[in-house]
């Protein structure tokens, strides 16, 4: 089965979602939020991009002031703007068996993540889970609400995925993911 560039986008989206769930927040309280994901990749024919509709998530404070959270991005929600490519992406990611890309955030220190601009998490695509570090930027906080962006790259080979190819067209191994996160303390 041929795997398309859309799969990379899905991977990237999952990573971004994960980052958003554990992102630095104000103080050790529970929070809810939404994240918007966009991604881009290259191919020998043309570069492409895609999006995932807003995803809701929750994070919880744990003893010591750190946060835990999980983010799930439905593979079926990934949109590259071309229906056939989206269908190929879902097949390539085996969406029937692995319908979600997951991010796990554990023991995240919000102040350290904000100061260092690094947000670590575990990203699971299909049946492979790997550590990822997202770069945090554009942090804004107003009262009980915070906004920030997180960016990271997903390398397909790290998840045992072969970059899609067809004849002379080959998709690049790297998917760049950008996530805009909005958090609200509850």
CB 167 within 8 A of CB 9: no
Check residue 29 and give its pLDDT: 67
As a whole-number percent, the residues of the chain with pLDDT over 90 amount to 49
Give me the chain's average pLDDT, please: 83
| CB neighbour class for 117 (10 Å; exposed up to 12, middle 13-18, buried from 19) | middle
| pLDDT reading at 10 higher than 50 | no
Using alpha carbons, select from 148, 99, 107, 91 the residue that is nearest to residue 124. Answer: 99
> In the chain, which ranges are continuous DSSP H helix?
5-22, 83-92, 110-116
What's the predicted TM-score (pTM) here? 0.80
- What does the block give as tokens for 97? 């068996």
Domain range for 74: 5-185
150-166 pLDDT, tens digit each: 999 999 999 999 887 77
CB 147 within 8 A of CB 116: no
DSSP for 43-101 reads ESS--EEEEEEEEEEEEEEETTTEEEEEEEEEGGG-B-S-HHHHHHHHHHTTTTT--EE
CB 16 within 8 A of CB 171: no
What's the total number of domains in the chain?
Answer: 1
CB 4 within 8 A of CB 17: no
- HSE, side-chain direction, 13 A CA sphere, residue 108: 35
- HSE, side-chain direction, 13 A CA sphere, residue 90: 16
Kindly report the CATH number assigned to the domain that includes residue 166.
2.40.128.110
- HSE, side-chain direction, 13 A CA sphere, residue 60: 5
| pLDDT reading at 71 higher than 80 | yes
Residue found by looking up tokens 């770069």 in the block: 135
113-154 pLDDT, tens digit each: 888 999 999 999 999 999 999 999 998 888 888 889 999 999
CA distance 66 to 103: 17
- What does the block give as tokens for 128? 């492979």
87-111 pLDDT, tens digit each: 988 998 999 999 999 999 998 887 7
């Amino acid at each position: 089965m041929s795997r398309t560039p859309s799969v990379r986008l899905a991977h990237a989206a999952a990573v971004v979602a994960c980052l958003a769930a554990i992102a630095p927040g104000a103080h050790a309280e529970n929070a809810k939020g939404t994240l918007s994901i966009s991604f881009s990749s290259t191919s020998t024919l043309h570069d492409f991009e895609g999006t995932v509709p807003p995803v809701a998530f929750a994070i919880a404070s744990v003893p010591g002031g750190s946060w835990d959270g999980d983010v799930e991005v439905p593979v079926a929600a990934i949109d590259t703007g071309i229906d056939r490519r989206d269908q190929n992406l879902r097949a390539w990611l085996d969406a029937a068996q692995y319908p979600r890309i997951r991010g796990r955030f554990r023991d995240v220190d919000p102040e350290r993540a904000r100061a260092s601009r690094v947000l670590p998490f575990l990203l699971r695509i299909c049946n492979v889970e790997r550590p990822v570090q997202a770069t945090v930027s554009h942090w804004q906080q107003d009262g009980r609400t915070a906004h920030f962006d997180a960016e990271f790259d997903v390398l397909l080979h790290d998840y045992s995925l072969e970059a899609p190819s067809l004849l002379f067209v080959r998709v690049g191994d790297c998917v760049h993911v950008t996530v805009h996160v909005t958090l609200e303390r509850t």
